[in-house]
Structures are given as C-alpha cells and as structure tokens.
C-alpha cells in the first residue's frame, strides 16, 4: 500500500458540499481495496467502511465534503534541506487529510477480536451536517474519534457552538426633515447594545473557548409608504455554558429596553451547542501515549469553530476526541496543503492508539 495513495486519491476527487457523490464512490472502493469487511454508501450519502465484527465499536467520523474552490492537486517539495513534501488540493487539510488517515490507520490495524471499527466519510459538514445527523442515529459507539485538522501531535477536546439570528428593527415612516431617528440608525444602536452585553460577559474570561464570539455578517434596510426597517445578520460562537436557546433568550432580554422602535429576533438555520470532551478517559490516554511513542509532545486544544463533534457527541455520550493531521490555519484558503510527513505520523499515531485501546 502506497503511504499516500488514499490521501492523494481522495483529495483528487473535488467534492464541495452537495457534490460529494464521486468522492464517496471513490472512497468506498478504496476501503474495499484496503481489505475492509464491508464498505457502502448509506441512506444519507455517507461513505462507510467497516472492519471487524465485534460487539465493541469505535466510530471514526470525518467529513468528505469541502468548501468550494478547486485547487490543482499536486505534490511539491520545498527546496530546503530536510524539508518534507507538501500536498496541495482542496480538502487536503479540511478535512480529507484526517478522513484518509482514519481509513489508512484502520487498514493498518486490521480486524481485532471483539471490536468493530466504523470509518465514516460524512457529507454536508460545511453546510448543515446532514451526514453526521444521520450517522448520530445509526450508531451507538463505545468510543468516537472525529476527524478535523489539529496537527499530528495535538488532540482537541472541545468545539464552540454557534447560533445565527436576523435582528430586525421596525418603526413608522417619518418625514426626512422630522429629525427622528431612522430604522437604520436604530439598528446601529441595537448592534452596540448587543456588543456591550457580549463585552461585559467576556470581561472576566481569559480563554477564547469560554467567551461569546460575536460577529456582524450583514446589514440591509428599506421602507414602504408606512414603515421603515433595518435588519442585522448576527452570529455568535457559543461557550459550553450557554446553549443556543439561552443565547436567544439573552438576546431578546437585552433588546427589550428600546421603547421608540420594535425589535424582532428571528433564529436562522441550525443552532449548534458547544461541546467539551472528558479529558480523563481511556481513549485520551491512548492518544497521549501514542503521540509520545512517536516522538511528539502531546497538547490539548479547544477550538473556536464548530465540527461534527457538536452533532454526534451529545447523542452518543461516549468518550470522544477530535484528531487529524493538518494545519487548521489553512482551512478554506487558496493555499490549502498538508505536510506529507505529518500525515504519515498521524496514521502511525492513530494505529498505535487503536491498537492500545483494543488490546
């Protein structure tokens, strides 16, 4: 087996969200060629590979879709002594690198008595996580490993939640010479009120994972003969202590103070709660041991984005970690690439962790 055939082949299948079928078919065929006991496409369109027939189960869930923007797939060697080769291509980091490493590591370990490994290449993670939502209801694993890029020697134990809302300000129409505050001007007041609340909440929290991370992603306004309105598109990354429903409640309470205009808070899309994994578990200990055995100094990280961990972990309620090679700073960028030496180290760490976990 070529050390990088799975990775290069998977990255070569361009698969932005909604167009994953070709990559899914390729990945299923690849897992069959690697000796998996079964490999198939499930009802949601996910690629699934199964190794072993035991009653104890480890699910390794990555995502096979990417953001749009095709990057020519190529391997480049940096002209520097001892510099490793780099694989360029959309998804090489986020998150086909981690997914490919799952497939290679399970193939390396093979079937283990009493255990079953399930590798899932989920669809739609970059949109509404339809693949992970389906998988969450199909499996009851004893352990879960979620594939996202965090470097080969780091283990992520948490991802923030997210919530979006359209905040609309409405008021009666007035003559332009009246001197009354417009809906658009009132919307600025609303934004500053939201921001003041968030700044107050964050004041005593030094870690980004524990803060509310607020963003204003859009503004628009208009009017008719009788009414004027302005709308803000407000997003927030949530800490573990504030589930989405609490955020919407706090948002409404914060904006009740305005008496001269009406404010409507409308949740938009899927809100996702944050999730933090338990640190003292057999799964975490196996990863720490495996990283050390391959010359690394393991570190824990907590991410400010969201991942399929947020979808499946509350349902499965089993020990979980997020792991995968690649520099997450390159996610979604036109320069996305992965260090092939680091990819191989990740495969070795994964296989060592799985060996230890199932021993």
CA dist 97 and 339 (Å) reads 10
Distance of CA 135 to the CA centre of its chain: 15
Among residues 109, 60, 137, 317, the alpha carbon closest in space to that of 47 is found at 60
Q: According to DSSP H, which parts of the chain are helical?
A: 5-11, 21-33, 96-109, 130-136, 183-202, 244-254, 282-293, 309-316, 340-357
Q: Which of 16, 11, 95 is nearest to 60 (CA)?
A: 95
Task: Give CA separation, 230 vs 82, 133, 222, 227, in Å.
Answer: 57, 34, 7, 10
The pair phi, psi for residue 178, each rounded to 5°, is -75, -20
If we measure between CA atoms, which residue out of 66, 14, 65, 25 comes closest to residue 48? 25
* Catalytic site positions: 65, 125
Q: d(Cα 341, Cα 331) in Å, to the nearest integer?
A: 19
| Dist. CA 356–CA 307, nearest whole Å | 26
Largest CA distance in the chain: 81
CA distance 19 to 171: 43
Q: Rounded to 5 degrees, what are φ and ψ at 55?
A: -85, -25
Tell me how far apart the alpha carbons of residues 156 and 276 are, in angstroms, rounded to a whole number: 9
Assign 3-state DSSP to the chain and report helix, strand, coil percentages, each to 5: 35, 30, 35
């Amino acid at each position: 087996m070529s050390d990088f055939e799975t990775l290069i082949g998977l990255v070569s299948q361009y698969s932005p969200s909604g167009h994953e079928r070709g990559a899914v078919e390729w990945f299923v065929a690849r897992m069959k060629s690697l000796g998996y006991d079964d490999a198939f496409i499930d009802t949601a369109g996910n690629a699934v590979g199964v190794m072993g027939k035991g009653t104890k189960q480890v699910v390794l869930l990555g995502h096979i879709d990417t953001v749009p923007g095709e990057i020519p797939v190529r391997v480049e060697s940096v002209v520097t002594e001892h510099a490793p080769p780099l694989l360029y291509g959309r998804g090489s980091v986020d998150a086909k690198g981690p997914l490919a490493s799952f497939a290679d590591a399970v193939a390396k370990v093979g079937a283990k008595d009493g255990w079953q490994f399930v590798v899932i290449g989920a669809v739609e993670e970059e949109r509404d996580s339809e693949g992970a939502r389906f998988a969450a209801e199909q499996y009851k694993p004893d352990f879960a490993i979620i594939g996202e890029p965090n470097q080969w020697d780091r283990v992520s134990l948490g991802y923030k939640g997210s919530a979006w809302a359209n905040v609309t300000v409405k008021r009666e129409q007035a003559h332009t010479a009246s001197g009354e505050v417009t809906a658009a001007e009132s919307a600025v007041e609303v934004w500053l009120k939201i921001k003041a609340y968030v700044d107050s909440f964050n004041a005593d929290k030094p870690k980004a994972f524990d803060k509310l991370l607020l963003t204003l992603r859009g503004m628009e306004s208009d009017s008719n003969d009788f009414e004027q309105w302005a709308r803000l598109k407000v997003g927030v990354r949530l800490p573990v202590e504030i589930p989405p429903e609490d955020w919407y409640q706090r948002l409404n309470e914060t904006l009740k103070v305005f008496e001269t205009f009406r404010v409507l808070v409308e949740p938009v899309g899927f809100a996702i709660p944050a999730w933090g994994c338990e640190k003292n578990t057999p799964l975490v200990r196996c990863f720490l041991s495996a990283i050390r055995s391959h010359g690394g100094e393991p570190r824990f990280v907590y991410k400010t984005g969201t991942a399929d961990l947020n979808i499946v972990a509350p349902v499965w309620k089993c020990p979980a970690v997020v792991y995968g090679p690649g520099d997450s700073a390159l996610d979604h960028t036109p320069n996305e690439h992965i260090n092939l030496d680091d990819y191989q180290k990740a495969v070795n760490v994964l296989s060592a962790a799985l060996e230890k976990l199932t021993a």
